[in-house]
Amino acid sequence: MGAGFWAGFGEEFSDTVQANRKRVEKTAEDRKQYLNTYGARAISDARKDVSQLKGYISYLSSRGISSKAIQGVFERQGVTGLKTFYSRIEDRDDLTSEDLQETIRIAENYASNTSMDPVQVLTEAVGLVPSGQKGEQREGGIIRSILGLSTQSLSNVMNEPMIGGLTGRDVYAAIGKSGAGYEGTGQAVNYNLPVKALDYTQVKDVAKTLYDQADRRIEDFRTLLVESQDVDSSAAPSELAIQARKRLKEQYGTSTTGETYDYTNPEVVMERRLFADGLEQSQDKNRILQGWSLFDAAIFRTALDEETNRRGSITSSSPLGQFRNIYKNFFNGTYQNQSPVKKFDTNEDLEAADLPSGWYLVGGILKYAVNVSD
């Protein structure tokens, strides 16, 4: 009876073991095929992302962007931020290293005190760093081995190098991270690039704006000079003359060389009329603009606005001839031996500085300030 019970059991057991082994090996083979198919694609995409990031960083570095500035943008906006940064700089071959200094300063302020390698951060984020660790061995003892259920073949697939030094386990993780990246903190980034220089047609338009303003200001000035000499029935200055003199003092009281004018003095009025008449009768637009700019700071205000809003509209303007050099000299301090034009946010800041009488930029507006103690 005992022999009858065991009869045929050996063959059935052997078939079960073989079936178990085939099933496990089939699972291991399927896992390997899955990793090779989808893993290769995921790793290829991840490597492209890292390669692109390296390209962005290499180009930004070649344009003089510091590693700290690059880190600052990366910490805030991740890969997307550096791609945007790269695109904006790459599109502006007109920018010099000097032009980029303010942009660099702002970006560096975004960086934390801890040094960061953006390439390494992204490499880890997309799963391209080998773990170097073996997975857990789950053999389940001798019984699993006897039954043909050993997971050694699966373990081999997961722990042996497959693609570029990455184990199956690494590749599996890389698939899970497919499409991932590094997004940073999500805080806004101000790239603060200078505005792009104008083309020749636009530069000519700006020049015409200045010419037209000079013409209007000269005509207004001549009209006020005439009105300032008007008298009433008693031969005293009329109300028209009083208002004209007030406007003359406010708008044309101090030339850009610092000279002041007393429009109650008929001789001064006559001298200024001859000056304005001479400019008005000239047919040379550049001569008019140059001559008037020596007298009327409003031209410099307009020019400053144009240059600020449209880079190169004054400093790179060939139609403006000598005026562009007068403009540069006026603001950098080589004009009429004056000091460079200093900038202040408010009138209070200017007063607190206790500087000598001269031209200053206050809140972006050019003005002549008088220090009574001079």
Q: Which amino acid is at 152?
A: Q
pLDDT above 80 for 195: no
Please state whether the predicted TM-score (pTM) of the whole model is above 0.75: no
The pLDDT tens digits for 256-277 are 888 899 999 999 999 999 999 9
Distances (CA, A) of 192 to 107, 219, 258, 337, 341: 9, 40, 35, 33, 23
List the domain boundaries for the chain: 2-176, 200-338, 341-374
**Between residues 197 and 281, the one the model is more confident about:** 281
Residue 84 and residue 74 in contact, taking contact as beta carbons nearer than 8 Å: no
**For the residues 345-365, what does the mean pLDDT come to?**
84
**What CA–CA distance (Å, rounded) separates 88 from 272?**
50
- Percent of all residues in the chain with a pLDDT value above 90, rounded to a whole number: 21
H or E stretch including 360?
A: strand 358-362
**For the residues 222-241, what does the mean pLDDT come to?**
94
- Give the DSSP letter string of 179-212: T----TT-------PPPPPP-HHHHHHHHHHHHH
Q: Is 245 exposed, middle or buried (0-12, 13-18, 19+ CB in 10 A)?
A: buried
Q: Is 289 exposed, middle or buried (0-12, 13-18, 19+ CB in 10 A)?
A: buried
pLDDT above 60 for 81: yes
H or E stretch including 343?
A: strand 342-344
The pLDDT tens digits for 200-220 are 788 889 899 999 999 999 999
pLDDT above 60 for 291: yes
**For the residues 163-187, what does the mean pLDDT come to?**
65
